[in-house]
Amino acid sequence: MPMPEKMGVVFTGTQKQDIVDHLTGIRTILASIKVVQLTKTERQGASSVDNVRLPYVIKGEQLAQINAALRPGFMSLVDCTNDVKMTQDMMELKNQLNETTDVFVDFSLASEHFAYKYMLKFYETAQGALGTPTPGVDTVIDALAPLFEKQGSNLPPVTPP
C-alpha cells in the first residue's frame, strides 16, 4: 500500500491505553509462565530453531517418544515435548507480533514523515520571512536552525538580509 496523502490523526486516550494494556498483558502472561530475561551474550549463544530446523526438532521429539533406550537420562522428555509445543506456539505468535510491528512501524513512519515535512515547510517559510516584520521569525529560526543544520537538510543556511 502506498504512503497515505496525509496523516493528521491521533489516538484517543482510550485507544492508546488499550494498546498499552494489551502489550503489558502479553508481558504479564509470559512472566506468569516463566521469567526469561537473557543477556545479550546468552541470546547470541542460544541455539535458535528456525523454520528449517523446526521439522527436525519435531521429528526428533516424536522419535524420542518411541525410542526410550536412546533418550538422554539426564534430560526430561516431558520438558522437551513442552519446549517443542512452546516453540511452535511462539513462532505462530511471533508471526502475528511481526505483522503488528510492521503496522506500528508503518504508522509511525508515516506520521514522522508528514510531521517532518511540515516542519521543513515551516522553517522554509520562516527563512523567507527573515527581515520582515513578521512576529516570531527570529524565535523560530533561532530554535530550529541548529536542528535542521545537524540533520543535513538541503535547506540553505540562514543568511539574514
Exposed/middle/buried for 21, CB within 10 Å: 0-12, 13-18, 19+? exposed
Exposed/middle/buried for 127, CB within 10 Å: 0-12, 13-18, 19+? buried
Reply yes or no on whether the pLDDT at 104 is more than 90: yes
Give the Cα separation of 93 and 88 in Å (integer): 9
- Determine the pLDDT at residue 50: 85
Q: Are 141 and 35 in contact (CB under 8 A)?
A: no
Give the Cα separation of 86 and 32 in Å (integer): 14
Half-sphere exposure of 103 (CA within 13 A, CB side): 6
Reply yes or no on whether the pLDDT at 160 is more than 80: no
- Determine the pLDDT at residue 155: 58
Give the Cα separation of 31 and 50 in Å (integer): 23
Q: Are 61 and 84 in contact (CB under 8 A)?
A: yes
Mean pLDDT estimate for the chain:
92
pTM: 0.76
- Determine the pLDDT at residue 157: 60
